[in-house]
Amino acid sequence: MEKLAVIVPCYNEEAVITESYRRTKAALSKVEYVTEIIYINDGSRDKTREMLNKIAAQDPSVKVIHFSRNFGHQPAVTAGVNNCDADCAIIIDADMQDPPELIPELVKTMVDQQANVVYCVRKSREGESSFKRFTARMFYRTINRMAEVSFPLDTGDFRLIDRAVMNEFNKLKERGKYIRGLISWLGFKQVPFYYHREARIAGETKYPFSKMLKFASNAIFYFSKKPLKLAITLGFLAFLVGIILGVWSTLGKMFGFSNATSGWTSILITIIFFGGVQLLTVGVLGQYIGILFDEVKERPEYIIESKKNFD
């Protein structure tokens, strides 16, 4: 029989682990696969570690990976895929915002449509602030405009992927992984599955604004070279403005209609404007250099401290 794995990244999720395990197990009992759950404890500082170890001690179909510290959501999912030997896998959050009850339908969709990827599109989002919903909406539309490939809108990492996709994913060497984008980029047959994203069952979001910002900028800088083109556009614009100002002040001096000598306001504005343009473009360059710096170091994306039930 084929094997289905469920990959669940967990960071300080003591409030949801028990319920998450119960509901996922119940959903898995409805599919005709050998099943397993792979929990990745992303350096939690609460009871997540003990709770996962306890579940793994009682249930041999539960595998646990403990990171040596908090590496982040994307490295945690990556570790899950890297350590998965199943024929297909579902990536799902621990907080039940993506209901595990949908698992049988996802599997059915994959089989019926002979798809390699079934990605879950959020028709609605419950229990999230209007700020989160607004920024998420803007983010998916911006990245789509900027990236060289097109991504499905309002789609997170919640999805079903098969062995072929996992094998290709495991070959990707970049460290700053924007997983939902990379899986789209891989190609194969990908089909959507529409669902309502629910509210977190307990606990708080583990994605504060700073992590959201890092996530979004990673996605943009890894998938788009458009910010670099911004430098050329701004440079060209500045060049045009310079020529117009030059002609205007020369003619103004000759025919006496400009305030070229008395106008310190115009000088001040020009200096601030071009200073700003230069800093902005140097900043954009800096982002890419920073990424190159991180990538050439070739540090691993995550460090595994220990594993349970992996033999």
Q: Is 249 in the site for ligand UDP (CB under 6 A)?
A: no
Rg of the chain taking only CA atoms, in angstroms: 25
Smallest gap from Cβ 259 to ligand UDP, in A, equals 55
Count of beta carbons in the 10 Å neighbourhood of residue 105: 16
CB closer to Mg ion, 95 vs 157: 95
Q: Is 95 in the site for Mg ion (CB under 5 A)?
A: yes
| Pairing relationship of beta strands 34-41 and 190-197 according to DSSP bridges | unpaired
Q: Is 97 in the site for Mg ion (CB under 5 A)?
A: yes
Among positions 15, 37, 76, 166, the unique one binding ligand UDP when judged by CB under 6 A: 76
Q: Is 66 in the site for ligand UDP (CB under 6 A)?
A: no
Count of beta carbons in the 10 Å neighbourhood of residue 305: 13
Q: Is 14 in the site for ligand UDP (CB under 6 A)?
A: no
80: its two tokens? 């899950």
- SS3 of 261, please? coil
Partner interacting with residue 207 (select from ligand UDP, Mg ion, none; CB below 5-8 Å by kind): ligand UDP
Among positions 70, 258, 270, 287, the unique one binding ligand UDP when judged by CB under 6 A: 70
In the chain, alpha helices (H): 17-28, 48-58, 73-82, 103-113, 130-146, 163-171, 179-186, 209-223, 226-255, 264-297
CB closer to Mg ion, 78 vs 97: 97
Question: Which of the ranges 65-73, 183-191, 216-224, 278-286 carries the binding residues for ligand UDP, by CB under 6 A?
Answer: 65-73
What residues have CB less than 8 Å from 189, skipping those under 6 apart?
113, 114, 115, 116, 117
Q: Is 181 in the site for ligand UDP (CB under 6 A)?
A: no
Find, among 77, 75, 82, the residue nearest to 301 by Cα: 75
Smallest gap from Cβ 215 to ligand UDP, in A, equals 9
| Ramachandran sector of residue 96 (left: φ over 0; alpha: ψ -120 to 50; beta: rest) | left
Among positions 42, 100, 160, 182, the unique one binding ligand UDP when judged by CB under 6 A: 42
CA 38 vs CA 15, 43, 80, 190: distances in Å: 18, 15, 7, 23
Partner interacting with residue 302 (select from ligand UDP, Mg ion, none; CB below 5-8 Å by kind): none
Count of residues of this chain found to bind ligand UDP when the rule CB under 6 A is applied: 16
The residue ranges that bind Mg ion (CB under 5 A) are 93, 95, 97
The residue ranges that bind ligand UDP (CB under 6 A) are 9-11, 13, 42, 70, 72-73, 76, 93-95, 97, 205-207
